[in-house]
Structure 1
Amino acid sequence: MKKLRVLCLHGYHGSASVLRDQMSALTSVLEPLAEFVFVDAPSRANGDFGWWHAVQDMQGFDADPGVIVYKGWRNTYDWMISLFKNEGPFDGVFGFSQGAALAGLLVGLRSMDGKPSEQTPLAFDFAIMAGGFLANDPSLARLYESPASYDLPSVHIIGRSDSVVPSQHSRMLASKFGKPLILEHDGGHVIAARPEIRRQLASFLKQRM
Protein backbone atom coordinates (compact mmCIF):
# COMPACT_ATOMS: atom_id res chain seq x y z
CA MET A 1 0.00 0.00 0.00
CA LYS A 2 1.37 3.39 -1.01
CA LYS A 3 2.23 5.74 1.85
CA LEU A 4 0.83 9.22 2.15
CA ARG A 5 3.28 12.11 1.73
CA VAL A 6 2.98 14.76 4.42
CA LEU A 7 4.81 18.09 4.25
CA CYS A 8 5.95 19.13 7.75
CA LEU A 9 6.37 22.80 8.70
CA HIS A 10 8.39 23.83 11.76
CA GLY A 11 7.84 26.62 14.28
CA TYR A 12 9.21 30.16 14.44
CA HIS A 13 12.65 29.41 15.90
CA GLY A 14 12.65 25.85 14.62
CA SER A 15 14.06 23.95 11.68
CA ALA A 16 13.46 20.74 9.80
CA SER A 17 15.74 18.80 12.15
CA VAL A 18 14.17 20.32 15.28
CA LEU A 19 10.68 19.43 14.09
CA ARG A 20 11.80 15.92 13.21
CA ASP A 21 12.90 15.46 16.83
CA GLN A 22 9.72 17.07 18.17
CA MET A 23 7.59 14.70 16.10
CA SER A 24 9.63 11.55 16.63
CA ALA A 25 7.22 10.02 19.14
CA LEU A 26 4.43 10.42 16.59
CA THR A 27 6.26 9.54 13.40
CA SER A 28 7.71 6.34 14.88
CA VAL A 29 4.15 5.03 15.15
CA LEU A 30 2.79 6.58 11.95
CA GLU A 31 5.67 5.75 9.57
CA PRO A 32 3.88 2.67 8.17
CA LEU A 33 1.16 5.04 6.96
CA ALA A 34 3.01 8.15 5.84
CA GLU A 35 6.29 9.60 4.64
CA PHE A 36 6.96 12.80 6.56
CA VAL A 37 8.87 15.39 4.52
CA PHE A 38 10.64 17.99 6.69
CA VAL A 39 11.76 21.30 5.18
CA ASP A 40 13.52 24.44 6.42
CA ALA A 41 11.90 27.84 5.99
CA PRO A 42 13.60 29.66 3.08
CA SER A 43 14.76 32.41 5.46
CA ARG A 44 17.19 29.98 7.09
CA ALA A 45 19.30 29.92 3.92
CA ASN A 46 20.04 33.60 4.59
CA GLY A 47 20.87 33.17 8.27
CA ASP A 48 17.40 34.22 9.42
CA PHE A 49 14.59 32.13 10.93
CA GLY A 50 10.84 31.68 10.77
CA TRP A 51 8.36 31.64 7.91
CA TRP A 52 7.79 35.37 8.48
CA HIS A 53 8.26 38.07 11.13
CA ALA A 54 5.18 39.80 12.49
CA VAL A 55 6.04 43.52 12.57
CA GLN A 56 4.12 46.76 12.90
CA ASP A 57 3.06 48.34 9.62
CA MET A 58 5.07 51.57 9.41
CA GLN A 59 4.41 52.22 5.71
CA GLY A 60 2.51 55.32 4.72
CA PHE A 61 1.76 58.59 6.49
CA ASP A 62 -1.49 57.34 8.00
CA ALA A 63 -0.25 53.85 8.83
CA ASP A 64 -1.96 52.41 11.92
CA PRO A 65 0.82 51.36 14.33
CA GLY A 66 -1.49 48.63 15.62
CA VAL A 67 -1.64 46.87 12.24
CA ILE A 68 0.61 43.83 11.90
CA VAL A 69 2.21 42.76 8.63
CA TYR A 70 4.13 39.58 7.92
CA LYS A 71 7.60 40.50 6.73
CA GLY A 72 8.91 37.62 4.64
CA TRP A 73 5.50 36.21 3.71
CA ARG A 74 5.98 36.85 -0.01
CA ASN A 75 9.29 34.97 -0.01
CA THR A 76 7.66 32.05 1.81
CA TYR A 77 4.68 32.15 -0.58
CA ASP A 78 6.84 31.99 -3.71
CA TRP A 79 9.11 29.34 -2.21
CA MET A 80 6.17 27.18 -1.16
CA ILE A 81 4.63 27.23 -4.65
CA SER A 82 7.99 26.17 -6.08
CA LEU A 83 8.31 23.41 -3.48
CA PHE A 84 4.91 21.93 -4.33
CA LYS A 85 5.72 22.12 -8.04
CA ASN A 86 9.18 20.58 -7.82
CA GLU A 87 9.02 18.31 -4.75
CA GLY A 88 5.33 17.39 -4.70
CA PRO A 89 2.82 16.01 -4.78
CA PHE A 90 1.93 16.10 -1.11
CA ASP A 91 -1.20 14.44 0.23
CA GLY A 92 -1.31 16.65 3.30
CA VAL A 93 0.47 19.21 5.44
CA PHE A 94 1.47 19.15 9.11
CA GLY A 95 2.44 22.30 10.98
CA PHE A 96 3.53 23.16 14.50
CA SER A 97 3.12 26.65 16.02
CA GLN A 98 3.99 29.20 13.31
CA GLY A 99 4.16 26.26 10.92
CA ALA A 100 0.57 25.41 11.90
CA ALA A 101 -0.49 28.98 11.14
CA LEU A 102 1.25 28.59 7.77
CA ALA A 103 -0.53 25.29 7.16
CA GLY A 104 -3.81 27.07 7.81
CA LEU A 105 -2.94 29.72 5.23
CA LEU A 106 -1.89 27.11 2.68
CA VAL A 107 -5.37 25.61 2.91
CA GLY A 108 -6.69 28.95 1.65
CA LEU A 109 -4.41 28.57 -1.39
CA ARG A 110 -5.63 25.05 -2.08
CA SER A 111 -7.26 24.05 -5.34
CA MET A 112 -10.40 22.05 -4.60
CA ASP A 113 -10.22 20.07 -7.86
CA GLY A 114 -6.50 19.31 -7.59
CA LYS A 115 -5.67 21.52 -10.57
CA PRO A 116 -3.47 24.45 -9.49
CA SER A 117 -4.37 27.91 -10.78
CA GLU A 118 -3.05 31.42 -10.25
CA GLN A 119 -5.41 32.03 -7.32
CA THR A 120 -5.22 28.48 -5.89
CA PRO A 121 -1.71 27.25 -6.73
CA LEU A 122 -1.51 24.33 -4.26
CA ALA A 123 -3.08 20.88 -4.15
CA PHE A 124 -3.38 18.61 -1.10
CA ASP A 125 -6.16 16.77 0.68
CA PHE A 126 -5.80 17.22 4.46
CA ALA A 127 -4.11 19.31 7.14
CA ILE A 128 -2.84 18.59 10.66
CA MET A 129 -2.00 21.47 13.00
CA ALA A 130 -0.52 21.52 16.51
CA GLY A 131 -0.54 24.75 18.50
CA GLY A 132 -1.89 26.72 15.55
CA PHE A 133 -3.40 30.20 15.31
CA LEU A 134 -5.00 32.53 12.79
CA ALA A 135 -2.75 34.92 10.87
CA ASN A 136 -3.21 38.51 12.07
CA ASP A 137 -1.87 40.22 8.95
CA PRO A 138 -5.03 41.83 7.49
CA SER A 139 -3.81 41.29 3.93
CA LEU A 140 -4.01 37.51 4.47
CA ALA A 141 -7.53 37.48 5.93
CA ARG A 142 -8.97 36.85 2.47
CA LEU A 143 -7.41 33.37 2.47
CA TYR A 144 -9.86 32.30 5.17
CA GLU A 145 -12.87 33.50 3.19
CA SER A 146 -13.35 30.42 0.98
CA PRO A 147 -15.41 27.84 2.88
CA ALA A 148 -14.90 25.39 0.02
CA SER A 149 -11.10 25.50 0.44
CA TYR A 150 -11.44 24.77 4.16
CA ASP A 151 -13.95 21.97 3.68
CA LEU A 152 -11.28 19.30 3.98
CA PRO A 153 -10.37 16.83 6.74
CA SER A 154 -8.25 18.49 9.42
CA VAL A 155 -6.79 17.67 12.84
CA HIS A 156 -6.10 20.29 15.50
CA ILE A 157 -3.86 19.24 18.42
CA ILE A 158 -4.44 21.67 21.27
CA GLY A 159 -2.70 21.91 24.65
CA ARG A 160 -5.00 23.05 27.45
CA SER A 161 -1.95 24.49 29.26
CA ASP A 162 -0.37 26.13 26.21
CA SER A 163 0.99 29.51 27.34
CA VAL A 164 2.60 30.34 23.97
CA VAL A 165 -0.51 29.89 21.81
CA PRO A 166 -3.55 29.90 24.12
CA SER A 167 -5.99 27.11 23.37
CA GLN A 168 -8.72 29.55 22.31
CA HIS A 169 -6.49 30.80 19.49
CA SER A 170 -6.10 27.26 18.17
CA ARG A 171 -9.86 26.82 18.40
CA MET A 172 -10.37 29.96 16.35
CA LEU A 173 -8.21 28.46 13.62
CA ALA A 174 -10.09 25.15 13.84
CA SER A 175 -13.39 27.00 13.43
CA LYS A 176 -12.42 27.97 9.87
CA PHE A 177 -12.43 24.32 8.83
CA GLY A 178 -15.47 22.38 7.71
CA LYS A 179 -14.49 19.06 9.32
CA PRO A 180 -12.17 19.80 12.27
CA LEU A 181 -11.09 16.93 14.50
CA ILE A 182 -9.94 18.52 17.77
CA LEU A 183 -7.54 16.49 19.92
CA GLU A 184 -6.87 18.09 23.28
CA HIS A 185 -4.22 17.24 25.85
CA ASP A 186 -3.24 18.61 29.25
CA GLY A 187 0.23 19.70 28.18
CA GLY A 188 1.59 22.99 26.87
CA HIS A 189 3.10 24.13 23.58
CA VAL A 190 4.27 20.73 22.40
CA ILE A 191 3.43 18.11 19.80
CA ALA A 192 1.72 15.71 22.14
CA ALA A 193 2.04 11.99 21.45
CA ARG A 194 -0.26 10.54 24.08
CA PRO A 195 -1.55 7.05 23.18
CA GLU A 196 -5.04 8.37 22.39
CA ILE A 197 -3.65 11.07 20.10
CA ARG A 198 -1.44 8.55 18.31
CA ARG A 199 -4.42 6.24 17.88
CA GLN A 200 -6.68 8.93 16.48
CA LEU A 201 -4.00 10.27 14.14
CA ALA A 202 -3.36 6.75 12.84
CA SER A 203 -7.09 6.31 12.24
CA PHE A 204 -7.24 9.71 10.50
CA LEU A 205 -4.38 8.82 8.15
CA LYS A 206 -5.80 5.38 7.38
CA GLN A 207 -9.03 7.06 6.27
CA ARG A 208 -7.05 9.26 3.91
CA MET A 209 -5.29 6.31 2.22
Structure 2
Amino acid sequence: MRSALRILCLHGYHGNAEVLRRQMAPLASALPSDVELVFVDAPSLSVRDFGWWHEGFSGWERTRDWVGALMSSGPPFDGIFGFSQGAALTGLLAAVRESEHPRPVADFGFAIMVGGFTSNLPQHARLFQHKLRIPSVHIIGRGDVIVPKRDSLLLADRFTDPLVIEHAGGHVIPGGAVATRTAQFLSEYARTARKAS
Protein backbone atom coordinates (compact mmCIF):
# COMPACT_ATOMS: atom_id res chain seq x y z
CA MET A 1 0.00 0.00 0.00
CA ARG A 2 1.32 3.45 -0.93
CA SER A 3 2.20 5.82 1.91
CA ALA A 4 0.00 8.87 2.40
CA LEU A 5 2.79 11.18 1.23
CA ARG A 6 6.10 10.38 -0.45
CA ILE A 7 8.71 13.14 -0.24
CA LEU A 8 12.03 13.38 -2.08
CA CYS A 9 14.66 14.88 0.25
CA LEU A 10 17.60 16.84 -1.21
CA HIS A 11 20.67 17.55 0.92
CA GLY A 12 22.87 20.65 1.05
CA TYR A 13 26.26 21.32 -0.53
CA HIS A 14 28.98 18.88 0.60
CA GLY A 15 26.25 16.90 2.34
CA ASN A 16 24.76 13.54 1.49
CA ALA A 17 21.63 11.50 2.14
CA GLU A 18 22.77 10.23 5.53
CA VAL A 19 23.80 13.68 6.76
CA LEU A 20 20.40 15.07 5.75
CA ARG A 21 18.62 12.18 7.47
CA ARG A 22 20.37 13.15 10.74
CA GLN A 23 19.78 16.89 10.19
CA MET A 24 16.07 16.25 9.57
CA ALA A 25 15.56 14.01 12.61
CA PRO A 26 13.94 16.72 14.80
CA LEU A 27 11.51 17.64 12.03
CA ALA A 28 10.92 14.06 10.84
CA SER A 29 9.91 12.94 14.33
CA ALA A 30 6.95 15.36 14.18
CA LEU A 31 5.64 14.06 10.85
CA PRO A 32 2.78 11.56 10.55
CA SER A 33 4.04 7.96 10.50
CA ASP A 34 2.71 7.32 6.99
CA VAL A 35 4.95 10.01 5.44
CA GLU A 36 7.75 8.36 3.47
CA LEU A 37 10.98 10.36 3.27
CA VAL A 38 13.28 9.31 0.41
CA PHE A 39 16.87 10.52 0.82
CA VAL A 40 19.24 10.52 -2.17
CA ASP A 41 22.85 11.52 -2.81
CA ALA A 42 23.67 14.12 -5.47
CA PRO A 43 25.02 12.56 -8.69
CA SER A 44 28.58 13.75 -7.99
CA LEU A 45 31.77 12.39 -9.41
CA SER A 46 33.33 11.80 -5.99
CA VAL A 47 32.09 11.39 -2.42
CA ARG A 48 34.08 14.42 -1.16
CA ASP A 49 32.45 16.53 -3.88
CA PHE A 50 28.75 15.94 -3.14
CA GLY A 51 26.79 18.87 -4.47
CA TRP A 52 23.89 19.34 -6.85
CA TRP A 53 26.05 21.75 -8.87
CA HIS A 54 29.27 23.67 -8.42
CA GLU A 55 30.66 27.17 -9.03
CA GLY A 56 28.32 29.18 -11.26
CA PHE A 57 25.66 26.42 -11.24
CA SER A 58 27.97 24.19 -13.33
CA GLY A 59 26.24 20.80 -13.51
CA TRP A 60 22.70 22.14 -13.02
CA GLU A 61 21.35 20.58 -16.24
CA ARG A 62 22.87 17.19 -15.38
CA THR A 63 21.29 17.37 -11.93
CA ARG A 64 17.90 18.42 -13.37
CA ASP A 65 17.93 15.46 -15.76
CA TRP A 66 19.13 13.05 -13.06
CA VAL A 67 16.39 14.12 -10.63
CA GLY A 68 13.86 13.96 -13.49
CA ALA A 69 14.86 10.37 -14.27
CA LEU A 70 14.75 9.43 -10.58
CA MET A 71 11.27 10.91 -10.14
CA SER A 72 9.98 9.06 -13.20
CA SER A 73 11.48 5.68 -12.33
CA GLY A 74 9.38 4.61 -9.35
CA PRO A 75 6.27 5.47 -7.39
CA PRO A 76 5.37 9.16 -7.72
CA PHE A 77 6.62 11.78 -5.29
CA ASP A 78 4.03 14.06 -3.73
CA GLY A 79 6.57 16.72 -2.89
CA ILE A 80 10.20 17.72 -2.53
CA PHE A 81 12.04 18.82 0.61
CA GLY A 82 15.36 20.63 0.24
CA PHE A 83 17.93 22.00 2.65
CA SER A 84 20.35 24.80 1.69
CA GLN A 85 21.61 24.04 -1.85
CA GLY A 86 18.95 21.31 -1.95
CA ALA A 87 16.36 24.02 -1.18
CA ALA A 88 17.66 26.15 -4.06
CA LEU A 89 17.38 23.05 -6.26
CA THR A 90 13.83 22.45 -5.00
CA GLY A 91 12.90 26.00 -6.03
CA LEU A 92 14.42 25.50 -9.48
CA LEU A 93 12.60 22.18 -9.93
CA ALA A 94 9.32 23.86 -8.94
CA ALA A 95 10.00 26.53 -11.57
CA VAL A 96 10.87 23.91 -14.22
CA ARG A 97 7.65 22.08 -13.33
CA GLU A 98 5.61 25.18 -14.22
CA SER A 99 7.62 26.70 -17.07
CA GLU A 100 9.33 24.09 -19.23
CA HIS A 101 7.45 22.02 -21.81
CA PRO A 102 7.87 19.16 -22.18
CA ARG A 103 8.66 18.88 -18.49
CA PRO A 104 12.06 17.35 -17.71
CA VAL A 105 10.85 16.43 -14.21
CA ALA A 106 7.78 14.50 -13.11
CA ASP A 107 4.95 16.44 -11.54
CA PHE A 108 4.90 16.96 -7.78
CA GLY A 109 2.47 18.79 -5.55
CA PHE A 110 4.43 20.84 -2.99
CA ALA A 111 7.88 22.17 -2.14
CA ILE A 112 9.46 22.60 1.31
CA MET A 113 12.64 24.67 1.44
CA VAL A 114 14.87 25.23 4.47
CA GLY A 115 17.63 27.83 4.23
CA GLY A 116 17.04 28.24 0.50
CA PHE A 117 18.19 30.85 -1.98
CA THR A 118 17.66 31.74 -5.64
CA SER A 119 19.95 31.56 -8.62
CA ASN A 120 20.92 34.88 -10.14
CA LEU A 121 21.84 33.37 -13.51
CA PRO A 122 19.98 34.78 -16.55
CA GLN A 123 19.01 31.29 -17.78
CA HIS A 124 17.28 30.65 -14.46
CA ALA A 125 15.59 34.06 -14.32
CA ARG A 126 13.36 33.03 -17.24
CA LEU A 127 12.05 30.11 -15.15
CA PHE A 128 10.75 32.60 -12.59
CA GLN A 129 9.07 35.05 -14.98
CA HIS A 130 5.77 34.32 -13.23
CA LYS A 131 5.16 33.51 -9.58
CA LEU A 132 4.96 29.78 -8.97
CA ARG A 133 1.56 28.39 -7.98
CA ILE A 134 2.78 25.21 -6.28
CA PRO A 135 2.14 25.17 -2.50
CA SER A 136 5.41 25.97 -0.73
CA VAL A 137 6.90 26.16 2.75
CA HIS A 138 9.98 28.29 3.43
CA ILE A 139 11.75 27.69 6.75
CA ILE A 140 14.09 30.56 7.53
CA GLY A 141 16.55 31.04 10.40
CA ARG A 142 16.84 34.61 11.60
CA GLY A 143 20.37 33.78 12.77
CA ASP A 144 21.43 32.07 9.52
CA VAL A 145 24.85 33.43 8.47
CA ILE A 146 25.32 30.93 5.60
CA VAL A 147 22.12 31.82 3.74
CA PRO A 148 20.91 35.16 5.14
CA LYS A 149 17.21 35.64 5.80
CA ARG A 150 16.89 38.15 2.92
CA ASP A 151 18.10 35.51 0.42
CA SER A 152 15.56 32.96 1.65
CA LEU A 153 12.81 35.59 1.50
CA LEU A 154 13.75 36.32 -2.13
CA LEU A 155 13.15 32.65 -2.90
CA ALA A 156 9.82 32.69 -1.02
CA ASP A 157 8.79 35.75 -3.04
CA ARG A 158 8.98 33.66 -6.23
CA PHE A 159 5.88 31.75 -5.07
CA THR A 160 2.25 32.91 -5.18
CA ASP A 161 1.25 32.10 -1.61
CA PRO A 162 4.32 30.93 0.32
CA LEU A 163 4.06 29.73 3.90
CA VAL A 164 7.05 31.38 5.58
CA ILE A 165 8.07 29.94 8.95
CA GLU A 166 10.83 31.78 10.79
CA HIS A 167 12.85 30.52 13.73
CA ALA A 168 15.52 32.08 15.93
CA GLY A 169 18.24 29.61 14.96
CA GLY A 170 20.80 29.50 12.20
CA HIS A 171 21.41 27.27 9.17
CA VAL A 172 19.60 24.25 10.60
CA ILE A 173 16.47 22.16 10.19
CA PRO A 174 14.60 22.89 13.41
CA GLY A 175 12.19 20.77 15.39
CA GLY A 176 9.66 22.07 17.89
CA ALA A 177 7.01 24.51 16.70
CA VAL A 178 8.51 24.68 13.19
CA ALA A 179 8.27 20.90 12.81
CA THR A 180 4.70 20.95 14.15
CA ARG A 181 3.66 23.63 11.64
CA THR A 182 5.34 21.71 8.80
CA ALA A 183 3.46 18.56 9.83
CA GLN A 184 0.21 20.57 9.80
CA PHE A 185 0.99 21.77 6.27
CA LEU A 186 1.52 18.17 5.13
CA SER A 187 -1.70 16.98 6.78
CA GLU A 188 -3.65 19.80 5.12
CA TYR A 189 -2.04 19.00 1.76
CA ALA A 190 -2.87 15.28 2.11
CA ARG A 191 -6.51 16.07 2.99
CA THR A 192 -6.86 18.39 -0.02
CA ALA A 193 -5.20 15.87 -2.34
CA ARG A 194 -7.53 13.08 -1.16
CA LYS A 195 -10.60 15.26 -1.79
CA ALA A 196 -9.36 16.15 -5.28
CA SER A 197 -8.80 12.51 -6.30
Q: Normalised by the size of structure 1, how large is the TM-score?
A: 0.84
Higher helix proportion (structure 1 or 2) = 2
Amino acid aligned to 2:175: A
Q: Matches of residues 51-200 of structure 1 in structure 2 within 5 Å?
A: 51-54=52-55, 69-111=56-98, 117-119=101-103, 121-147=105-131, 150-194=132-176, 196-200=177-181
Q: Aligned residues: percent identity?
A: 51
Report the equivalent of 1:8: 9
Larger CA Rg, structure 1 vs 2: 1
Report the equivalent of 1:20: 21
Contact 2:64–2:105 (8 Å) recurs in 1: no
Once residues 206 and 44 of structure 1 are traced to their aligned partners in structure 2, the CA distance between those partners, rounded to angstroms, is 37
Report the equivalent of 1:203: 184
Amino acid aligned to 1:43: S
Q: 1:151 to 1:120 in 2, by over 3 A?
A: farther
Q: Unmatched 5+ residue regions in structure 1?
A: 55-68
Using the TM superposition, give the Cα deviation of residue 47 of structure 1 relative to its aligned residue in structure 2, in angstroms: 5.6
Contact 2:138–2:156 (8 Å) recurs in 1: yes
Contact 1:3–1:32 (8 Å) recurs in 2: no
Using the TM superposition, give the Cα deviation of residue 119 of structure 1 relative to its aligned residue in structure 2, in angstroms: 4.1
Q: 1:173 to 1:111 in 2, by over 3 A?
A: closer
Give the match's secondary structure for 2:94: helix
Runs (4 or more) in structure 1 with deviation over 4 Å come to 44-47
Q: 1:87 to 1:2 in 2, by over 3 A?
A: closer
Q: Unmatched 5+ residue regions in structure 2?
A: 191-197
Contact 2:110–2:136 (8 Å) recurs in 1: yes
Aligned length: 189
Give the match's secondary structure for 2:165: strand
Using the TM superposition, give the Cα deviation of residue 93 of structure 1 relative to its aligned residue in structure 2, in angstroms: 0.4
Amino acid aligned to 2:146: V
Using the TM superposition, give the Cα deviation of residue 106 of structure 1 relative to its aligned residue in structure 2, in angstroms: 0.3
Q: Normalised by the size of structure 2, how large is the TM-score?
A: 0.89
